[in-house]
Structure 1
Amino acid sequence: MTKVLVLYYSSYGHIETMAQAVAEGVRGAGAVAVIKRVPELVPEHVAEKAGYKRDQPAEIATVAELADYDAIIVGTPTRFGNMASQMKNFFDQCGGLWFEDKLVGKIGSVFTSTGSQHGGQESTILSVHTVLYHLGMIVVGLPYTFKGQGRMDEITGGSPYGASTLADDGKGGDRQPSANELDGARFQGRHVAELAQALSAARLTKAA
């Protein structure tokens, strides 16, 4: 059965919530979804003082296990238009997988969160795409068949590059992912799983 890893980093829980929705979409396509997170780099006392969400149940992923999945969907908040350092640090350890072509031909996809509508949603996703390309992965976004992308009646995340959410309510307060943003995450998870299944089936047919 097709296995999809939802690999994320989340400081305050927004990406964690999106990761769960992505996994729902993967399972809705009949594939196996595994949710894991990358290690935290911020010292415990600093994370506590900053109010980080530290009770996340997802297990910590290892670099070596990435090769065990048919697709990897990456979730990271933005850091000045780029992926979080925790996620970059994890990918920086993939040299062995890169050298042995372990991730070549696997599907990769990305989702994100920002504090505002123009806070780097697209550039953050593209920063991860660059890494996925170097690892030889097949990059998949969020197609316009997800009609929630075209909504103009509310503030919402989402772009053809991947699902996203806005984490700030515009007044300095917390904003959780909206129903439309979660729908986009589920759509992306299902879309990636279906493509991974089709790719696996094609390879089996070719091998036969």
Structure 2
Amino acid sequence: MSTKVQIVFYSMYGHIYQMAEAVAEGVRSAGAEAEVLRVAELAPDEVLEKSGAKQAQAAFAHVPVITPDKLAEADAVIFGTPTRFGMMAAQMRNFLDQTGGIWAQGKLIGKVGSVFISTGTQHGGQETTITSFHTTLLHHGMVIVGLPYSEKGLSRMDEITGGTPYGASTLAGGDGSRQPSANELELARHQGRRVAEIATRLKTTH
């Protein structure tokens, strides 16, 4: 039976969705099954329309909305979220706050967990968002996987780029106009592949 990896994301303007698709490519390149899922939106339609997010979200409206119990079906879960003041977006926090039932049953213990994110600026909380997200994963007993410096794209100095040892990241720009770069998407693929490979090893040793 193939390793099952869920990529669970929240995206407002599509940056994290693009990264999620790249993560899924990496998962599949390792011979694992990738399922891309999104968490429910909380903002009212009028707010989304006024900000332009409603139009952007149409690009991934076809992606199924996940329910907390579905997490238990995966061997690994890679979460993606934009940053809000150095922490995860409320939509993702709301979803995680609904996982008490599977936490009580220990459904995620021993599964691989990983995180990728986006920020508006270079120093907009890329690392704090990921490491604070890890706290929830540790409460669930998950095995955290990051992105090691063997990935050369983390050390690039010839361009402005996201990418941390804790997980892949992208920079959206102050107005959201910047799109994920080739380097950022490649780092996301590496993260997906690494998670899938480690999850497969863990699965085959149990």
TM-score by length of 2: 0.96
Q: 1:52-103: per-residue Cα shift (whole Å, max 9, x none)?
A: 1221121100101000000000000000000000000000001111110000
5+ residue gaps, structure 1:
204-208
The answer as to whether partners of 2:13 and 2:176 remain within 8 angstroms in 1 is no
Q: Does 1:175 align with 2:182?
A: no
The alpha-carbon distance between structure 1 residues 18 and 173, as it changes in their structure 2 partners (threshold 3 A), is closer
Amino acid at match of 2:201: A
**Secondary structure at the counterpart of residue 33 of structure 1:** strand
- Corresponding residue number in structure 1 for 2:20: 19
- Corresponding residue number in structure 2 for 1:206: none
Q: Does 1:49 align with 2:57?
A: no
Q: What does 1:82-161 correspond to in 2, within 5 Å?
A: 82-161=87-166
Whole-Å separation in 2 of the counterparts to 1:173 and 1:93:
29
Whole-Å separation in 2 of the counterparts to 1:51 and 1:138:
37
Q: Does 1:193 align with 2:182?
A: no
Whole-Å separation in 1 of the counterparts to 2:103 and 2:179:
36
Counterpart pick for 1:202 among 197, 202, 205:
205
Whole-Å separation in 1 of the counterparts to 2:37 and 2:63:
5
TM-score by length of 1: 0.95
Whole-Å separation in 2 of the counterparts to 1:100 and 1:153:
48
- Corresponding residue number in structure 1 for 2:85: 80
Cα RMSD over matched residues?
0.8
- Post-superposition offset of 1:173: 5.6
Whole-Å separation in 2 of the counterparts to 1:64 and 1:148:
35
The answer as to whether partners of 2:120 and 2:176 remain within 8 angstroms in 1 is no
Aligned identity (percent) is: 62
Amino acid at match of 1:155: I
- 4+ residue runs of structure 1 moved beyond 3 angstroms? none
Whole-Å separation in 2 of the counterparts to 1:99 and 1:173:
39
How many equivalent residue pairs?
A: 201
